[in-house]
Amino acid sequence: MKIVKAGVVAILISLLGMSCTPNGEEGSKALVKQASVPNMKPANEVKLETVEPAYWWAGMKNETVLLMIHGKNIATSEVQIKEDGIGIESVDTQDNPNYLFLNLNIANAKAGKYPITFKAGAKELTYEFELKPRNKGTKAQGLTSKDVMYLIMPDRFANGNPDNDSQADLTQKANRKDRDGRHGGDIAGVTSKLDYLNDLGVTTVWLTPFLENNQPDWSYHGYAITDFYKADGRHGTNAEYKNMVDEAHKRDMKVVMDLVFNHIGNGHDWMKDLPAKDWIHEWKEFTKTNYKGEALSDPNASDFDKKIMTDGWFDGHMPDLNQGNPYLAKYLMQASVWWIEYAGIDGIRMDTYPYNKKEMMSEWVSYVLSEYPDFYIVGETWLPGATWESYWKAGGNNRDGFVSTLKSVSDFPVWDALNRTWRNNWSITEVYKTLTEDFLYDDANQNKIFLDNHDVDRAFGVFNKNIPNMKLATSFLLTTRGIPQIFYGTEILMGKGGHHGDLREDFPGGWAGDKRDAFTEAGRTKKENDYFNYMRSILQWRRTSKAIAEGKLKHWVPFNEVYAYARYTDSETVFVILNNNKDEQTFNTERFSEVLKGDAKGKDILTGKSVTIGSEFTIPGKTAMIIDLSK
């Protein structure tokens, strides 16, 4: 038997003895139902309200698990575990008597139930903590250059279950007329469209956060989490999310989860009873971040600027978490592992990555990879150039001694170069120059690349609704180095921008009664189908291309707005030519002799026609050619 007293002073506590087990379906916050005794008024009442995580798994590589236990005066109780197999390493408290942190050693524990008793005087509360057998199904596959992510804002994609659109216990109700409101899209809707996505050719589904956001406004986007262990009821249930992952895996597709460690929503229960005074960054008056991530790698930056960047709040309704508190840090790290093991996800996209305590984030990445070595983690690193992006990427040589363990960053420099080229009608040399900075990265093939996402204007609108330019950019995105990401609706030329609620518009056909169903060929216009089929042909082909999945990149300085590059392995070569000139261009091919031997023969995967590249070659204006020389 292990008995540990929590708290400094033992006091007399009146409790009703009872046994507590996790309730609800399968979430990992156990809500403990408290019984009451008529006319019983203890001098110091103790309650056991929540345990997080509610359960864990036996056989994990990390030998400890930290339980955060919440309840009135719970820190004044003694903790006992009578079963062998689990050891109590420590019982810790902060400055709030309503929280207790129980650090358990599970190195030798087998799957089973382990009663934990909280004792006060002669009375007891017992919580039945369970270690489950590990999930043996498909999980944590990771992503490579072979993959293509499809980014979905679930509230705006498809409504698979109209009955969950509004929930009695969640503040904001559904209203499709409000561009900032909830529209009803959900996990069931995404699951129902997996065949559509598989046919399109994407390999990976990334949903913006689906966890509970019990906020009065803007709750649809998911980035103000109010429960790290529970799906937002308007999106569905934990079980529905797990089912979606399972269904994706059945189709040889993968799933990336979106998480936020930097901040929470001010509707989180923590804000009613903070676990510790330093749980969040508090200021004498409201202080917003300066959004200047460049300051964190700047050797000349002021401490003031760096503190505002990391400790300032992202927005007024988003309290900034202090990952410097070791109990909060462990809580967040465990929550991510809980979702990997429970749902079997293959990757995590971490929001606002540089805004967190950077040392803790590197520790988190290592913690996850110690359990799941192939797991994919990409950080949102919205910075203006590769110089700053590379600071956050593993393998760098940072002068300040910071060692990052993050292998994949969000390649905003490439996005910006595409914008300069096809929004501002600058030279395609902008794209070339950006890739010449790849020497700053340990492995640029792991970078996430994109034309647009949920935070920026849609590419089709940015490119002035010019379809030839859109096709050129798409051809580049899907054949250059990196892991491409497509924003939902880009494949049908959705092109709004400006207000976030507009660029995150509903996918037509995702709701019963929509005027058209763009998930079907019949529901798309001729122009939409033309672009859809263009993208689909590349996506379906790249699934089979070893040169794209594993190949190196070699490119040549653009000449007369013609940019050429090759993706190649020892056995396969793909040669790509992008003519950004409005006129047809004929050029000598001698300078490409490193990859083109003699009269190179191949197949243009966009037209299906055989192609021979002789000493001279002609390409029409505003045209991309993707020539598979292995065919």
Q: Which residues pair with 319 in a beta bridge?
A: none
From CA 623, how far away is CA 625, in angstroms rounded?
Answer: 7
* Helix/strand/coil for 613: strand
| Host domain of residue 72 | 50-133
Helix or strand (DSSP H, E) at 420: helix 412-422
DSSP element (H, E) containing 552: strand 552-555
Same domain, 529 and 581: no
Residue 53: asked if its preceding bond is cis (omega within 30°), the reply is: yes
- Told to judge if 380 belongs to the known catalytic residues of this protein, a careful annotator would answer yes
Domain boundary among 109, 133, 157: 133
Quick one: which of 355, 345, 342 has its CA closest to 314?
A: 355
Q: Is residue 118 located within the same domain as residue 186?
A: no
450 and 598 assigned to the same domain: no
For helices 467-477 and 526-542, give the axis angle rounded to 10 degrees: 10
Do 406 and 509 share a domain, yes or no? yes
Cα–Cα–Cα angle for 141, 492, 182, nearest 5°? 75
Beta strand residue intervals within 283-384, DSSP E: 347-350, 376-379
Q: What's the first-to-final CA gap in the chain, in angstroms?
A: 69
* 291 and 176 in a common domain: yes
- Give the domain-ending residue among 525, 548, 571: 548
C-alpha–C-alpha distance, residues 308 and 289, integer Å: 5
pLDDT of residue 28: 60
Q: For 619, left (φ over 0), alpha (ψ -120 to 50), or beta?
A: beta
CB atoms within 10 A of CB 302: 10
Of the candidates 155, 240, 320, 380, the residue annotated as catalytic is 380
Per-residue confidence (pLDDT) for residue 510, from 0 to 100 = 98
Q: With CA atoms as reference, report the closest residue to 98 among 166, 171, 44.
A: 44
Provide the CATH number for the domain around residue 396. 3.20.20.80
Q: Is there a domain that residue 539 lies in?
A: yes
Question: Domain for residue 265, yes or no?
Answer: yes
Same domain, 450 and 516: yes
Is beta strand 123-132 parallel, antiparallel or unpaired with respect to 483-487? Answer: unpaired
Report the predicted TM-score, pTM, of the whole model to 2 decimal places.
0.93
Series of mean pLDDT values for 10-residue runs along the chain (631 residues): 39 34 52 34 71 97 97 94 91 96 97 94 88 89 97 98 97 97 98 99 99 97 98 98 98 98 98 98 97 98 98 98 98 99 98 98 98 98 97 94 98 98 94 98 97 98 97 99 99 94 96 98 98 99 97 98 98 98 96 91 96 96 96 67
Which residues, including other chains, have CB under 8 Å from residue 479's CB and lie 6 or more apart? 538, 542, 548, 565, 567, 574, 576, 626
| Same domain, yes or no: 177 and 287 | yes
Q: Give percent helix, percent strand, percent coil of the chain, each to the nearest 5.
A: 25, 25, 50
Catalytic residue among 49, 124, 186, 351: 351
Instruction: Flag whether 36 is in a domain.
Output: no
Q: Is residue 129 part of a domain?
A: yes
Own/partner pairs, 594-598, CB within 8 angstroms, 24+ separation: 594/554, 595/554, 595/566, 595/568, 595/629, 596/629
**Model pLDDT for residues 220-258, shown as the tens digit of each residue:** 999 999 999 999 999 999 999 999 999 999 999 999 999
Q: What is the rounded distance in angstroms from the CA atom of residue 120 to the CA atom of residue 118?
A: 7
Residue 90: give its domain's CATH number.
2.60.40.10
Cα distance between residue 437 and residue 481, in whole Å:
13
Strand duo 347-350 + 376-379: pairing: parallel
For residues 510 and 464, membership in a common domain is answered with yes
- 278 labelled catalytic: no
Question: Between 467-477 and 412-422, two packed helices, what is the crossing angle to 10 degrees?
Answer: 150
Instruction: Looking at the structure, tell me whether residues 380 and 399 fall in a common domain.
Output: yes
The reply to whether 213 and 272 lie within a common domain is yes
Of 515, 548, 581, the domain-final residue: 548
Enumerate residues 6+ apart whose C-beta is below 8 A from 521. Answer: 529
**Residue 262 covered by a domain:** yes
- Tell me: do 319 and 393 sit in the same domain: yes
What is the reported pLDDT for 13? Answer: 28
Do the domain assignments include residue 448? yes
Is residue 63 included in any domain, yes or no? Answer: yes
Please state, in angstroms and rounded to a whole number, the distance separating the CA atoms of residues 181 and 472. Answer: 35
Q: How many domains does the chain have?
A: 3
- Per DSSP, the residues of 514-549 read -S--TTSGGGS-HHHHHHHHHHHHHHHHHTT-HHHH
pLDDT in tens, 270-301: 999 999 999 999 999 999 999 999 999 999 99
Query: How far, in Å, CA of 54 to CA of 498, rounded?
Result: 42
CB atoms within 10 A of CB 555: 17
Residue 341 identity: E
Distance CA 62, CA 39 (A): 47
Are 418 and 556 part of one and the same domain? no
Give the total residue count for the chain: 631
Does 532 reside within a domain?
Answer: yes
The domain that holds 594 is classified in CATH as: 2.60.40.1180
